[in-house]
Amino acid sequence: MGDYSSYFLMKPEEVPDYVQAKLHFFPEGAKLSGQEIGDGNINYVFRVADRDSGKSIIVKQAGPTTRIEPDLGVSRDRGRIEAEILKLQSNFAPGLVPEIYLYDEVMCAMIMEDMVGHTMMRTGLLQHETYPEFAEDLTTFMAGCLIRTSDLVMDHKEKKELVKAFTNPDLCGITEDLVLMEPYTDCFHRNHVYPPNEEFIQKEVYGDQALCLEAAKLKFNFMNNPQALIHGDLHTGSIFINQEHTFVFDPEFAFFGPMGYDIGNMVMNLFFAWCNGEAEMEEGRKREDFLDWCMDTIADTVDLFVQKYDRVFDAYVTEPMAKMPGFKSWYLSGILADTAGYAGTEGLRRIHGMANVKDITSIEDVGKRTRAERIVVSFAKDCILNRNSFICGADYVAAIERAVRKHS
């Protein structure tokens, strides 16, 4: 197996030699250790570290079962697509995604930057940590990756090639079902409704025809609007963070879709953190600071995105028709309505869809969890039904306050 000319799944202790064979990252003869750190069942994630220099690197390899499965082509391609997307995103948002050093089609492995010193953001938020630079970093990432892969900036032929290359039917199918259908229909009986909220969900969601119609429109917009290369699963579990810096990773759901899907998902996941803090933290200064930070970050996510949209538009847009007076704000208003709409769909699907979030499910007190869920549902519905009137951060803050008042 010495030359890596055919696939085998590496054992942790075999990964250092692999890295040495493939890459000049560590000095020759370095004393390297290999350790498995991933928790996934599809991919194996290894860390290779040099004890002397303290430097480390990550190897992510697809497991053998995905190779034996008949859908091998898709699975193997996924790693390649993930590596390519991270490279593309690093062009538009330098430093905000882990760097890819190499993708190896034979070994189905990628060698990438270790996000050392960073914590998964959802984990940090559950400990009620705050991150002062986050809204700035996130909006830099989004403004760069979204606007610059849209027809506003990218050459139309280049963009169409990328639309083809990053068509992602399997993963989009998951979103179309789990996010944009089942929370309204429960057609596959996969929803997880918290028992104390069964009647509430019945009435407020399944039984609300106006809501279901708007969700249907949002689903079709998701399927038929290749606006920009979106991350597709942008939430606090796809972010590694510390006080100074942010990494966005795990873009396996990426495809050309509506920009507002990414922005809205982030907004709602920040609100889940607020709900957790509100339910779980003791009264006092720390609680107030955490809740204020969540709220400010929600508002800043929207407002800073708008600011950066303006800047990126002025700096990069060359498309003659996009320069027509009035076009810039018309285009933005579409992004902002989508942002609210998909913030709403994310809110509902995480409350009673199949994949729930720890921010809410870890609230042990029945009354507090029931209430938190209802607040999210009311806010989410507001976002979906009135999505055209969410045009700045303050609109989100006001809607949250309305939802909280409704359930106090």
Q: Kindly list the distances between the CA atom of residue 277 and the CA atoms of 49, 75, 119, 194, 370, in Å, as whole numbers in the listed order.
A: 36, 38, 18, 20, 15
Strand 32-36 with 246-248, pairing: unpaired
**In the complex with ligand ADP, which residue's Cβ is closer, 10 or 375?**
10
Q: Is 233 in the site for Mg ion (CB under 5 A)?
A: no
In this structure, are residues 328 and 313 in contact, taking their beta carbons and an 8 Å threshold?
Answer: yes
- Which one of 177, 182, 214, 250 is in contact with Mg ion (CB under 5 A)? 250
Report in angstroms how near the CB of residue 97 gets to ligand ADP at its nearest.
Answer: 9
Residue 115 contact, options Mg ion, ligand ADP, none, Cβ 5-8 Å cut-off depending on partner type? ligand ADP
Which of 238, 246, 241, 236 is CA-nearest to residue 360? 236
Q: Is 177 in the site for Mg ion (CB under 5 A)?
A: no
Region binding ligand ADP by CB under 6 A among candidate stretches 16-24, 110-118, 153-161, 305-313: 110-118
Helices (runs of H) and strands (runs of E) counted in the chain:
16, 10
Region binding ligand ADP by CB under 6 A among candidate stretches 38-46, 101-109, 318-326, 382-390: 38-46
Report in angstroms how near the CB of residue 63 gets to ligand ADP at its nearest.
Answer: 9
Residue 289 contact, options Mg ion, ligand ADP, none, Cβ 5-8 Å cut-off depending on partner type? none
3-class secondary structure, 76 = helix
Binding mask 321-360 for Mg ion (x = CB under 5 A): ----------------------------------------
Backbone angles phi, psi at 250, to 5 degrees: 60, 55
**Which residue in the shown chain puts its C-beta closest to ligand ADP?**
40
Binding mask 68-107 for ligand ADP (x = CB under 6 A): ------------------------------x---------
CA distance 64 to 261: 33
Q: Which residue in the block uniquely carries the two structure tokens 């990756």?
A: 145
How many other C-beta atoms can be found within 10 angstroms of the C-beta atom of residue 50?
17
Question: Cα dihedral angle (373, 379, 382, 388), rounded to 10 degrees?
Answer: -140
- CA terminus-to-terminus distance, the chain: 64
Region binding Mg ion by CB under 5 A among candidate stretches 154-162, 244-252, 295-303, 319-327: 244-252
**In the complex with Mg ion, which residue's Cβ is closer, 171 or 212?**
171
56 strand-pairing partners = 49
257 strand-pairing partners = 228
Residues in the interface with ligand ADP (CB under 6 A) total 15
- Which one of 8, 14, 40, 367 is in contact with ligand ADP (CB under 6 A)? 40
DSSP H helices in 166-258: 169-178, 182-185, 198-201, 209-223
**In the complex with Mg ion, which residue's Cβ is closer, 250 or 262?**
250
Q: Kindly list the distances between the CA atom of residue 388 and the CA atoms of 59, 258, 396, in Å, as whole numbers in the listed order.
A: 44, 15, 12
Residue 366 contact, options ligand ADP, Mg ion, none, Cβ 5-8 Å cut-off depending on partner type? none
Listed in sequence order, the residues at least 6 apart from 285 whose beta carbon sits closer than 8 Å to its beta carbon are none
- Which one of 115, 205, 299, 312 is in contact with ligand ADP (CB under 6 A)? 115
Binding mask 242-261 for ligand ADP (x = CB under 6 A): --------x-----------
Token pair belonging to 324: 């027509």
- Which one of 77, 114, 129, 296 is in contact with ligand ADP (CB under 6 A)? 114
- List contacts with ligand ADP (CB under 6 A): 37-40, 42-43, 45, 58, 60, 98, 112-115, 250
Q: Which spans of this chain sit near Mg ion (rule: CB under 5 A)?
A: 250
